[in-house]
């Protein structure tokens, strides 16, 4: 490759793997490096990562991408970071060493504490300020748990010796040689500590959760001058120009810059977001009001519905039930299912997300017969993602002034499955657009980083580059759709009442 050619390096730090993705000036992928890391489940409902392993996997994946593209580090115009949200790290300010494993967004260990706070009447104030629900999903109770359960941590935090960050902030700290402790507004908006209306860490919330303000990072725009990498890391001092949570990054990567545009990402979980512009829409259906992205110190808001288990259901089929050896085999197996069996999987392995928000609910299978086998259960697992998406969009439309969502853009690993996306279109009864570039999460961070340094054009011009790979149109009759949706609602109702 020509030495004069420049690239943007996107660090996509996800729940199960870290990836480095190089994009060229035309938003095309030049190379990808990927490294999986260990998932720890020390107790029922607990999920942890080793921050050091995340760090090493990030370095390895980035170096792999650079090596594959056969470029020199000085050909990287900028770095953007997108990350699994809500996953919480607390580390020593002097040594840079985490004092405990990262507590993952899926972790439910603080369910009781959240319930106590709800019973004391605090949720309405929390929701009004943050747009979020009082749930162990978010960072605040995770931080408090670490401070209360790691020896001397509370005292060290009060003495200003400890700092907190979501994964973007932790990686920025390490990449900058321990010089920069910052985050962006999207990640800050997922902590239960950030007032999304006033754009600041909230003193009342800090007091409620007993978290010292000195622990918190500086909050910046999603595209900003975050600093530079230490020269020893990649062999060149490179600007870091964007930080953004993964679902927000996918919204940007899908070019959903106008109010009313919606996307749904199918990774470990599923997350549907609709851009609501300057209006922070308050949900009446247990959706989240969040900052979609922030540019020029102006937040753009979104309504979000979160599903905890999407691709994780396919991992369950592969790793626990041993039905398949690779994720892409799930579609082939589902095609073999008996069409006359109505099997429903409610995949509440770590609780149910929106619009139910029951952290203590656990999964269930319904409609089993003597003839039910691997194919039928696999089909039910894939369909469960579509049913849950339907629940989200119905809730979003109710909150979004009863406006109808006419089309949805999809991305993430499961979006590659034609069978699943056709079922999604059938159950939603609306077109589903799949872009040519499914790496929209990595692309969003790359675009913002490139825009910040003048490598990429304005959002309006970027939106013109969005191209559809395939549009899925509903082929299911209304009678069949309503029958299937009624069966799903009954399964969810039974699951909620039995837990």
Q: Supply the pLDDT for residue 309.
A: 86
The model's confidence at residue 219, banded by pLDDT at 50, 70 and 90, is very high
Question: In whole angstroms, what is the distance from residue 149 CA to residue 159 CA?
Answer: 17
Q: Rounded mean pLDDT of 311-325?
A: 89
Q: Which residue has the higher pLDDT, 294 or 467?
A: 294
* Residues 349/316, Cβ–Cβ less than 8 Å: yes
- The pLDDT of residue 1 is 42
CB burial class (10 A; 0-12, 13-18, 19+) of residue 496? middle
Q: Apex CA 444: angle with CA 440 and CA 446, to 5°?
A: 115
How confident is the model at residue 307, as a pLDDT?
85
Classify the C-alpha dihedral 278-204-135-84 as positive or negative: positive
% helix, strand, coil for the chain, step of 5: 35, 25, 40
| Amino acid 357: pLDDT | 80
Residues 6+ apart with CB under 8 A from 461: none
The C-alpha atoms of residue 460 and residue 142 are separated, in whole angstroms, by 39
Q: Are strands 7-13 and 76-83 parallel, antiparallel or unpaired?
A: parallel
107-133 per-position pLDDT tens digit: 989 999 999 999 999 999 999 999 999
**Cβ neighbours for 198, distance < 8 A, ≥ 6 positions apart:** none
Q: What percent of the chain has pLDDT over 90?
A: 77
Strand 48-49 with 102-103, pairing: antiparallel
Query: Which whole number is the average pLDDT over 285-303?
Result: 94
Buried b (16+ CB within 10 A) or exposed e, 98-124: bbbbbbbbbbbbbbebbeebeeeebbe
Which pLDDT band holds residue 3 (cuts at 50, 70, 90)? low
pLDDT for the residue numbered 21? 97
The DSSP secondary-structure symbol of 179 reads: -
pLDDT for residue 499: 63
* Nearest residue to 9 via CA among 18, 154, 1: 18
Supply the mean pLDDT for the chain: 93
According to the model, what pLDDT value does residue 310 have?
Answer: 86
Q: How does pLDDT run across 50-85, given as a tens digit for each residue?
A: 999 999 999 999 999 999 999 999 999 999 999 999
E strand map for 342-391: 344-346, 364-366
212-221 mean pLDDT: 97
- The answer on pLDDT for 218 being more than 90 is yes
The pLDDT value given to residue 397: 86
Mean pLDDT score, 134-145 = 95
Three-state SS string over the chain comes to: CCCCCCEEEEEEECCCEEEEEEECCCCCEEEEEEEECCCECCCCCCCEECHHHHHHHHHHHHHHHHHHHCCCHHHEEEEEEEECCCCEEEEECCCCCECCCEECCCCCCCHHHHHHHHHCCCHHHHHHHHCCCCCCCCHHHHHHHHHHHCCCHHHHHHCCCEEEEEHHHHHHHHHCCCCCCEEEHHHHCCCCCEECCCCEECHHHHHHHCCCHHHCCEEECCEEEEEECCHHHHCCCCEEEEEEEHHHHHHHHCCCCCCCCEEEEECCCEEEEEEEECCCCCCCCCCEEEEEEEECCEEEEEEEEEECCCHHHHHHHHHCCCCCCCCCHHHHHHCCCCCCCCCEEECCECEECCCCCECCCCCEEECCCCCCCHHHHHHHHHHHHHHHHHHHHHHHHHHCCCCCCCCEEEECHHHHCHHHHHHHHHHHCCCEEEECCCCHHHHHHHHHHHHHCCCCCCHHHHHHCCCEEEEECCCCCHHHHHHHHHHHHHHHHHHHHHC
Tens digit of each residue's pLDDT (9 = 90 or more) over 87-100: 999 999 999 999 99
Span 240-291, pLDDT tens digits:
999 999 999 999 999 999 888 889 988 888 889 999 999 999 988 889 999 9
Question: What per-residue confidence (pLDDT) applies to 194?
Answer: 98
Residue 405 reports pLDDT greater than 70: yes
Tokens of 317: 């089929």
Give, in degrees to the nearest 5, the angle at Cα 349 between 144 and 370.
Answer: 165
- What mean pLDDT is predicted for residues 378-396? 92
pTM beyond 0.85: yes
Write the CB contacts of 235 (distance below 8 Å, at least 6 apart in sequence): 72, 73
DSSP state of 13: E
- Complete DSSP assignment for 70-89: T--GGGEEEEEEEE-SS-EE
Between helix 51-69 and helix 167-175 the angle, nearest 10°, is 60
pLDDT at 353: 82
């Amino acid at each position: 490759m020509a030495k004069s050619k420049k690239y943007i390096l996107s660090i996509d730090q996800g729940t199960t793997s870290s990836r480095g993705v190089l994009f060229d000036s035309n938003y095309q992928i030049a190379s990808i490096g990927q490294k999986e890391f260990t998932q720890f489940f020390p107790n029922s409902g607990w999920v942890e990562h080793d921050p050091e392993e995340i760090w090493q996997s990030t370095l390895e994946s980035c170096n792999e991408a650079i090596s594959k593209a056969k470029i020199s580090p000085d050909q990287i115009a900028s770095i953007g970071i997108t990350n699994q949200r809500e996953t919480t790290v607390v580390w020593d300010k002097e040594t840079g060493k985490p004092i405990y494993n990262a507590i993952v967004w899926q972790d439910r260990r603080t369910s009781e504490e959240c319930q106590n706070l709800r019973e004391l009447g605090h949720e309405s104030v929390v929701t009004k300020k943050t747009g979020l629900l009082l749930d162990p999903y978010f960072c605040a109770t995770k931080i408090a748990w670490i401070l209360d359960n790691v020896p001397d941590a509370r005292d060290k935090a009060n003495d200003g010796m400890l700092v907190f960050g979501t994964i973007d902030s932790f990686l920025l700290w390490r990449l900058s040689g321990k010089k920069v402790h910052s985050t962006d507004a999207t990640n800050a908006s997922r902590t239960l500590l950030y007032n999304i209306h006033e754009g600041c860490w909230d003193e009342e919330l800090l007091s409620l959760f007993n978290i010292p303000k000195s622990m918190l990072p500086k909050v910046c725009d999603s595209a900003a001058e975050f600093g530079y990498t230490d020269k020893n890391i990649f062999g060149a001092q490179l600007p870091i120009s964007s930080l953004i949570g993964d679902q927000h990054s996918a919204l940007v990567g899908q070019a959903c810059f106008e109010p009313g545009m919606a996307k749904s990402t199918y990774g470990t979980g599923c997350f549907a977001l609709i851009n609501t512009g300057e209006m922070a829409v308050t949900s009446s259906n247990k959706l989240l009001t969040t900052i979609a992205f922030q540019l020029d110190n102006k937040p753009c808001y979104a309504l979000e519905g979160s599903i905890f288990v999407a691709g994780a259901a396919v991992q369950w089929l592969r790793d626990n039930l041993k039905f398949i050896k690779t994720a892409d085999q799930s579609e082939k197996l589902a095609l073999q299912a008996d069409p006359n069996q109505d099997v429903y999987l409610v995949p509440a392995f770590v609780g149910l997300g929106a619009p139910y928000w029951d952290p203590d609910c656990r999964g269930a299978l319904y409609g089993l017969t003597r003839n039910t086998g691997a194919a039928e259960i696999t089909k039910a697992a894939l369909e469960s993602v579509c049913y849950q998406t339907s629940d989200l969009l119905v809730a979003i439309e109710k909150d979004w002034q009863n406006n109808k969502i006419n089309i949805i853009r999809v991305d993430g690993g499961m979006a590659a499955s034609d069978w699943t996306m056709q079922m999604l279109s059938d159950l939603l009864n609306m077109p589903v657009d799949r872009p040519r570039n499914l790496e929209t999460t990595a692309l969003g961070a790359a675009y913002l980083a490139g825009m910040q340094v003048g490598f990429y054009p304005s959002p309006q011009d970027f939106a013109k580059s969005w191209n559809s790979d395939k549009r899925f149109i509903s082929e299911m009759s209304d009678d069949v759709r309503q029958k299937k949706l009624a069966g799903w609602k009954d399964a969810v109702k039974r699951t909620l009442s039995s837990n």
